[in-house]
Each structure stands twice: as structure tokens, then as C-alpha cells.
Amino acid sequence: MNTPRLILDADRLERNASRMRSRCEELGVTLRPHLKTAKSVDVARVAAGGVQGPITVSTLAEAEYFAAAGWRDILYSTAMTAAKLARADRIQREHGARLLFVLDDEATAAAIGREAESLDARFGLLIEVDCGEHRSGAEPASAELVAIADKIRSHAPNLELMGVMTHAGHSYAFDAPEPIRALAETERRAAVESAELLRANGYPCPIVSVGSTPTALFAERLPGVTEVRAGIYLFWDLSQLSRGICADVDLAVSVLASVVGHQHRGPALILDAGALALSKDVGANRFMPEAGYGIVCDAATLAPLGPLAVTTVHQEHGNVPVPDESWFARLPVGSLVRILPNHACLTCAAYSSYDVLREGKLAGQWPRVSGW
Amino acid sequence: MNTPRLILDADRLERNASRMRSRCEELGVTLRPHLKTAKSVDVARVAAGGVQGPITVSTLAEAEYFAAAGWRDILYSTAMTAAKLARADRIQREHGARLLFVLDDEATAAAIGREAESLDARFGLLIEVDCGEHRSGAEPASAELVAIADKIRSHAPNLELMGVMTHAGHSYAFDAPEPIRALAETERRAAVESAELLRANGYPCPIVSVGSTPTALFAERLPGVTEVRAGIYLFWDLSQLSRGICADVDLAVSVLASVVGHQHRGPALILDAGALALSKDVGANRFMPEAGYGIVCDAATLAPLGPLAVTTVHQEHGNVPVPDESWFARLPVGSLVRILPNHACLTCAAYSSYDVLREGKLAGQWPRVSGW
């Protein structure tokens, strides 16, 4: 068997997807799953319970891929620039999709507005507001926000302001429910108060979009919010487990690897899963220092193999220290293990497809899209 | 223009390639370029000055890709296992290539030998010896090494022992010529003394293979060595620059990115090149702490833009702190920059092709192979 391979447990995926759908129903909001992790039409169908509903993507390559496969309501959540508009327009025209994009300043609104006119293209957009992560976004409920909306009305007749969005990416700083719950309320207020201010200025704002998996799960209530974006909940990973956001039995993706050597100095197992197969993300280590580049598990059951973790990576080699050489008999060269990744978004990105398991048995392959 | 994109300066590449060819001629050894960084037939041709000579690869996907394009002498340098032999056999048969592989223990030699017999397939192999990196390899010039050779002779009639190989990967721990020069001699002795011991035991060992870019460049002489493997010298990167192994004008790959936002809190530029476009490798930071996830340069000249570096990455966003907001006028939203990557092997892996520059102008696209 050729390894490394990316394994997706479809039973766990379905349970994860169904739980978030119930959660959003409970909260009275639309779920707009973020597909930057999965990048797969098959996963997207599971996420929405079989239908082609609203989705979020992080690249125009994803937008193109999902539009070509029939999705019609696609939010491209990385800030748009004028130079990318022609491609976005082609995606809309060729596939009959509607692209929503985001921006957060006046000059960009004007530049994109001009470009949309010259392309004779129409787009919907959301203004991004910054609920505290300080990555991007205008100040919530601010004069700046109204100025952007005014600029769109006066200088960008081809753009339709559909509302506001925010992302509490800083929810990953915590490993307890209380601060995440508080942050969910901060995120909600940033979006809702921004929408209210815009409405008071004559902009209807039918969409009020918030999201991050932790805040979606821990929010107490979301009055005023119309939709939630979340993605990692479909697969989960050690970064989320280490923060107490999911349970170990929820983890749906893993990397199947082979033991390719025994190193007596150490001692250590050498796996054929290194920096490319796992990524160099060590995000789980903040709250789970033993995670290394990934926790090593039994290939059949996905139960952790004692304390084993990948502690060093080279491009194609992963080094797994073992307590003693008795592990060499237990895991001879050629044997298989599965590795739980730190950060599923980055690990999955190295693979062109998932090997899909149902009831523990290989049940097919699902392709993924990559690149930009 | 769609960004991020991977840019390869073909003029720099040719100069880098030619310099290493001259160096190997000077040392009297064959150059077997390692194509795990480039993963491109076009780059491989430049590396060998237009011919299809011996090459090194790190995955069977690379072996298959180069064999299909006409390469005949391919060293697969990640330890082989029996389960991968059928695919290696297909690559040899379908494309008329000769695959050399490596192993470092008796049990694996026997298992692979049995599998080769059952496939009725013949392979050449090198025994890997450990010159001090302690990743993989048998003890140099040891009884263990002879025992592996004996096992191949007695239990693996379809395998032809062609010699030994070693890799001084620990040369990256240094940023000065002297310790690297000493290590090159350690690497040479590990390989040559191992080959001599095997010859004394009746194994001819026509191939004595060493390699890492730093040791290849700094070795004083390589008597007894027949070939050198090196790869990163084709492109170079900040990790190598930070160690004084190359000059800034040698760096041949960079990532073209767009400014997609201005963050007034900070202040910072937001780029559309994040963890996927750059990788999360920060290997240059050990000796160049200002490198962050990559140094930000002028898109046309590749001159560094003052102190700008990507200091934080999200999946598709890179955050670049600027000294003051005057940088926002200099780099408005929509403007382009180029980013010098930490570790070219990992950064390139995210892209399916290179945009190739000649004399600073776009001169075509070269595809890359990826996956396993």
C-alpha cells in the first residue's frame, strides 16, 4: 500500500455535521459551512445534509470548483481585490452562481466598484468588521463602517451591500468554555450592532454573518444574527481537542503512514509521514505539549499507541521516539499507523483525495481541490 | 492577476545549477541532483545542463513522473518497504527506468528480497549509513553493515547491492564554513570506510553516495566518493541564506502576493499569502529571527522592502507589520509584493506550477508533481 494517505471517517464526519446543523437550528440561524478545510463537494453535501445550500470558501479556486459542481450561494471570505474580480465574474457567469465577497475599506470599495462597472458585472458583498481578532475588518458600529457603505452607494453601483460579517478567530486562544462564550457574545454584538447602525443609515443588511467553530458551539444565543460560518467542526483535529472544543472520538481525519525504519539511537520509529504529509503546524502544542507534529495511533482502531507522537519532521520522514526497543517488535518496519494531525486544514491541503472509511472499511475516494 | 503564485527566476536557477556542476567536476564526483524541492522535469533538465542524468527523488510519485518523462537512473532516497515494491516494479517495467532504493536493516532486506522474488522484479539498492544525523542508517563501517550485505546475498537474490549512501542533514545546524567543512569530511569517511569494509567482505560497491547542499559546497576533497546528492542549491531559500550558505542574489523562488488589506491597529499590511501559500516552516529564524514566515520584497526587483516580513499567518492571510501608516500609500490594497520563503521545499509543495521569469519577464509556466 502506498503511504502516506489521508483517511476520512465518514461516520464521524456525518455525526459532526449533524450536530452542528442541530446547533444552528437551535440558535435559529442558517449554517453556511466553511469549506476551506474540506475542499470537497462530497464533504460539502454531508455538511448540508445532502442539499447544496449556502457555503463559505477561502480561495477563488474553491469558488470555481463548487460553482462548477452546482453550488449557487458562495461567500468568498478572503478580502477581494479589483484584480481578482474578472475571475470572480467568470465564475458567476459560467456557472450561474452568486458570489458574495467581503471588503473593509473605502478605497477598495471604490476600486472594486470601478472594476465591476468596467466588467459589467454585479456582485453582492458584506462589509467585514473586526470583533477583536485585529486581522482585518472595520471598527464595529463605527463612522468608518457607514463611510464604506456610503462609498459603495455613491461609487459602486454594480455592488449590492448585503450586510456584515465578522470572525472571532481569537477564540482559539482559549481552552475553556467561559471565555469562548463571552467572545461569542462579543462577536454577535459586533455584527448585530454594525448591521443596526447601517440599517439606521438606510442600508437593509439582510445578512448578519458570524463564525468560528468554537463560538458557534458555545454561543448562548444569537439574536440578530442570520448565519453562522464554521468549518473545522466537520473534521476536528488536535488543536481543537487540546482546547476542549471536541472529544477524541469526534476526530474524523488522520494520516495513514508506514513505519519505514527503526532507529536504535533514541530509540525511535521512522515513519514515511513528515513535514509535507503532516504540515509543520504545531498549534495543538500550546495546550497539549505532548502532541508534537501529531499523535500516533493504531491503524485499525485509531486508539493512541501509548505516548507515541511525531516529535521531529523532515520533508518525508517523521521521527517517533519510543520508550524502549520492545516497540520495534510491536511495530515492525512495514507496519501501518495512523496519525492525528495538529491542524486538519493544513494537513489535508497536501493531499489530492480522501480515502473514505465507513464502519472502519474503505468505502471509496473523495477528491479535493487545491491551489488558488 | 490571481495571487498567490510561485515565481521561479530561471536565470538564477541556471547560475545555481551551473555552479554546483562545476563544483562536482572540481571534486571529481557525479552530481545526482535531489529533485524533492523542484519536482519538475524542466528544472531537472537545467540541473543537469540539458541531459537526463542520474537523479534523486523522495517519493514514488516523483519517481513515476520522472521515469515517464524519460529519466532512467533514479535513486529513491526515502527508505523502501516491501509494500511499496510492486509500484516501484511497475515504474521500472512501464518506463524502462532503473530504480535504486535504500534500506538500513537486515529484516527489511529479507522482507524486500522475498517480495522482489514474488514479483519477479530486480532492483539495485544502497545501504544507508548514519554519519551522525541519527535519522536513519546503519552504523558506518560496522559489523551491522556487513550483516545487512550478507542478508541480501543469502536471502535476496533479486536485489543487487550497488553500494552505500549517507546524508549529513545535521549540516543545517551550523552557520559557518568550518564546522560544515569538518562535517563534510565526517560524511565522506562514513561512506568511504563503509564501502571499503564491504569491499573487503566481497561486495564491490560501485556507488559511494554522499550529500547535502552545505557539505557538497564546503567539502575540501572527496576521495573515494563517487556521487553527490544535493537539491536546495537549485533554488536556495532564507534558511540557507541565514546560514551563510548562499547569497541573497542566488534566491531563485519567491511567492507573488497581493496586499488585500490595511490594518490600522498595528499597523500592518494583510497579504493573500498565509500558511498554505508560504508553509509554516520558520527554519530561517534560528539564525535570522527577523525572517518570520518570509521576507517581503518589491514585486519587480525582489529587493527587500525595509524591515517588512510576514510575522503571523492564518490559512490564507499573512500579516506584515509596518513601521508606520506611510506604508499604506506605498503599498495600497491591490499592489503586489514578492515573499522570500523560509524553506523552498515546503513552500513550493503548495503549488502545481512555477511562473518562470527570464530577465525579469514572465517566460512560461513549468508544472510540478506533488503527492505520493
The tens digit of pLDDT for each residue in B156-182 reads 999 999 999 999 888 888 888 899 999
% pLDDT > 90, chain B: 95
DSSP B294: -
Spell out a b/e string for A157-172, using b for 16 or more CB atoms within 10 Å of the CB, else e.
Answer: ebbebbbbbbbbbbbb
Cβ–Cβ pairs < 8 A, chains A and B: 158
Q: Which three cell numbers stand for residue A145?
A: 463602517
Three-state DSSP at A90 gives helix
Topology classification of domain A11-232: TIM Barrel (3.20.20)
**Among candidate residues A104, A183, A101, the one with its CA nearest the CA of residue A151:** A104
CA atoms within 13 A on the CB side of B92: 21
Section A52-80 average pLDDT: 97
Query: Can you give the pLDDT at residue B42?
Result: 98
* A9 dihedral zone (left: phi>0; alpha: psi -120 to 50; beta): beta
- Residues of chain A with C-beta less than 8 angstroms from the C-beta of B319: 135
Q: Tell me which residue in A83, A136, A372 faces B263 most closely, judged by beta carbons.
A: A136
CA distance B182 to B171: 10
* pLDDT at res. A163: 98
Helices then strands, counting H and E runs in chain A, come out as 12, 18
Tell me: cis bond preceding A204? Omega within 30 of 0 counts.
no
C-alpha cell of residue A226: 442570520
Q: What is the pLDDT of residue A133?
A: 86
Predicted local confidence at residue A298, as pLDDT = 98
Q: What is the pLDDT of residue B174?
A: 84
pLDDT tier, B12 (very low <50, low <70, confident <90, very high otherwise): very high
Residue A134 above 90 pLDDT?
no
- For the cut 90, the answer to whether the pLDDT of residue B191 exceeds it is yes
pLDDT above 90: residue A123? yes
Tell whether A351 lies on the interface with B, counting CB pairs under 8 A.
yes
Q: Is the pLDDT of residue B368 over 90?
A: yes
Residue B45 has pLDDT above 90, yes or no: yes
pLDDT at A229: 97
Cβ pair A333:B2 closer than 8 A: no
pLDDT of B113 > 90? The answer is: yes
Return the residue of B nearest to A109 by Cα.
Answer: B333
The closest CB to that of A315, out of B36, B280, B314, belongs to B36
Output the average pLDDT for chain A: 96
Give the pLDDT mean for A47-73.
Answer: 97
* CA–CA separation, A248 and A255 (whole Å): 15
And the C-alpha cell for A237? 483535529
Q: How confident is the model at residue A94 (pLDDT cuts 50, 70, 90)?
A: very high
pLDDT in tens, A270-311: 999 999 999 999 999 999 999 999 999 999 999 999 999 999
Residues B67-85, mean pLDDT to the nearest whole number = 97
Segments of chain A assigned to CATH 2.40.37.20 = 248-367
Could you give the 3-state DSSP secondary structure of residue B132?
coil
Alpha helices in chain B (DSSP H): 10-27, 41-47, 60-68, 85-95, 106-119, 143-155, 177-200, 213-218, 238-242, 275-278, 326-330, 344-348
Please report the pLDDT score of residue B134 as a whole number.
85
Average pLDDT (B328-345) is 97
Grid coordinates of B87: 509500484
**Nearest CB neighbour to B270, from listed A136, A263, A349:** A136
C-alpha grid cell for residue A33? Answer: 459551512
pLDDT in tens, A160-210: 999 999 998 888 888 888 999 999 999 999 999 999 999 999 999 999 999
**pLDDT tens digits, one per residue of B267-302:** 999 999 999 999 999 999 999 999 999 999 999 999
B15 touches chain A (CB under 8 A): no
CB A168 within 8 A of CB A133: yes
What stretch(es) of chain B map to CATH 3.20.20.10?
Answer: 10-234
Average pLDDT over residues B214-232: 96
Percent of chain A topping pLDDT 90: 95
CA distance A183 to B301: 44
CA B257 to chain centroid, in Å, comes to 24
Residues of chain A with CATH 3.20.20.10: 11-232
Residue A1: is its pLDDT beyond 90?
Answer: no
User: Which residues make Cβ contacts (< 8 Å) with residue B32, sequence separation at least 6?
Assistant: B53, B54, B55, B56, B75, B209, B211, B227, B228, B229
pLDDT (0 to 100) of residue B133: 86
Contacts 24+ apart (CB under 8 A), B41-45: B41/B65, B41/B66, B41/B69, B42/B356, B42/B366, B43/B8, B43/B13, B43/B234, B43/B354, B43/B366, B44/B71
Average pLDDT over chain B reads 96
- Quote the percentage of chain A above a pLDDT of 70: 100
Helix (H) or strand (E) holding A14: helix A10-27
- The packing angle between helices A143-155 and A106-119, to 10°, is 20
Q: Do B79 and A261 touch (CB under 8 A)?
A: yes
Q: Provide mean pLDDT across the span A78-92.
A: 97
Name the grid cell of B337: 509584493
Residue-level pLDDT at B1 = 78
> Can you tell me the mean pLDDT for B200-220?
95
Q: Report whether pLDDT(A265) > 90.
A: no
Say if A173 is an interface residue toward chain B (CB within 8 Å). no
A346 neighbourhood in chain B, CB within 8 Å: 275-276, 280, 315
Q: Does the domain formed by A248-367 have CATH 3.40.50.150?
A: no
Range list of H helices, B57-142: 60-68, 85-95, 106-119
Q: For residue A81, give the nearest of B5, B260, B345 by CB distance.
A: B260
DSSP-derived secondary structure letter, B80: P
Topology adopted by domain B10-234: TIM Barrel (3.20.20)
**pLDDT (0 to 100) of residue A249:** 97
C-alpha–C-alpha distance, residues A106 and A104, integer Å:
7
CA distance B220 to chain A (A): 27
pLDDT over threshold 90, residue A84: yes
Q: Which residue from A minimizes the CA distance to B104?
A: A261
H or E stretch including A88?
A: helix A85-95
Cβ-contact B57, A316 below 8 angstroms: no
Question: Residue A271's pLDDT is what?
Answer: 98
A111 neighbourhood in chain B, CB within 8 Å = 333-334
Q: Which amino acid is at A22?
A: S
Instruction: State the residue for C-alpha cell 450561474.
Output: A96
Distance CA B364, CA B46 (A): 15
Residue B226 has a pLDDT of 98
Beta-sheet pairing, A207-210 with A159-165? parallel
**B258: distance to nearest CA of chain A, Å?**
8
Q: What is the pLDDT of residue A135?
A: 84
Q: Which residues between 137 and 166 in chain A have a beta carbon less than 8 angstroms from any beta carbon of chain B?
A: none
Residue with the larger pLDDT of the pair A237 and A176: A237
Query: Nearest CA to CA, how far is B364 from chain A (Å)?
Result: 18
